[in-house]
Amino acid sequence: MAEIKAEPFAFPVKHGQLALIVIDMQRDFAEPGGFGASLGNDVSRIGRIVPDVKRLIQGFRRAGLPVIHTMECHRPDLSDLPPAKRDRGNPILKIGDEGPMGRILIAGEPGTAILPELAPIDGEVVIEKPGKGAFYATVLEEVLQRNGIRQLVFAGVTTEVCVQTTMREANDRGYECLLAEEATESYFPEFKAAAIAMIRAQGAIVGWTAHVDDILESIA
Ligand code: TIU
């Protein structure tokens, strides 16, 4: 397990310091009637990455490497929801409103759950986050430090919103970040392509990008 074939150059794997972080693979972003759809998005693209995200999760589990999951969600009393976030745009259903899968983006509601195919197993950390980035108002940094994790492979949705925000937060905190290209998706293919390009530009200014097969081969 020395390095992962990646862009803009090979990602140097450091033994015992690597974890997978799966961002917001929730029904709310992937299914009709959820938060993503309420914003006017065609959510059908999101479900198509599930097999690749699953392969990545299984590879990390097989290798005995940590898998961390995140969920974008808010408390039922909305005390962690800034009005600016609730009121932004003109969604069909706002965060906290009752939808076909329960209250939109509220912790514990059916629609807020992680997709069943990708569900966390016992012992895996799940970070509930009120923001787009997974460090803001969460214990993620503490969890990573306690486990000696310094390198993160990223999967999940959406590429240019919660994935990229978290990668940038992690990069600024000194973590080495690698985005798994087939295991991330956006509602806008052009935004996914742009996010991938800007992450690895300028000598990996935010981090590396790699194909799922190459990541799996290196950690096997
Ligand atoms: N709207 C959108 O593209 N994303 C989000 O609101 N959250 C996440 O990316 N998880």
pLDDT above 80 for 136: yes
Question: What confidence tens digit (pLDDT) does each residue in 45-71 have?
Answer: 999 999 999 999 999 999 999 999 999
Round to whole Å and give the CA distance between 93 and 38. Answer: 6
Average pLDDT for residues 99-115, to the nearest whole number? 98
Is residue 177 among the annotated active site residues? no
Per-residue pLDDT, 210:
98
pLDDT(1) > 80: no
Q: Is 72 in the pocket of ligand 1 (CB under 6 A)?
A: yes
Specify the pTM: 0.98
Can you tell me which atom of ligand 1 is nearest the CA of 165?
9
162 is catalytic: yes
The pLDDT value recorded for residue 90 is 81
User: What's the confidence (pLDDT) of residue 92?
Assistant: 85
ipTM above 0.90, yes or no: yes
C-alpha 98 to ligand 1 mean position (Å): 19
Is the CB–ligand 1 distance for residue 112 below 6 Å? no
The rounded distance, in Å, linking the Cα atoms of 19 and 118 is 16
Cα–Cα distance between 11 and 91 in angstroms, integer? 40
Mean pLDDT for the stretch of residues 155-170 = 98
Choose the catalytic residue: 24, 73, 94, 192. Answer: 24
- Residue type (1 letter), 124: E
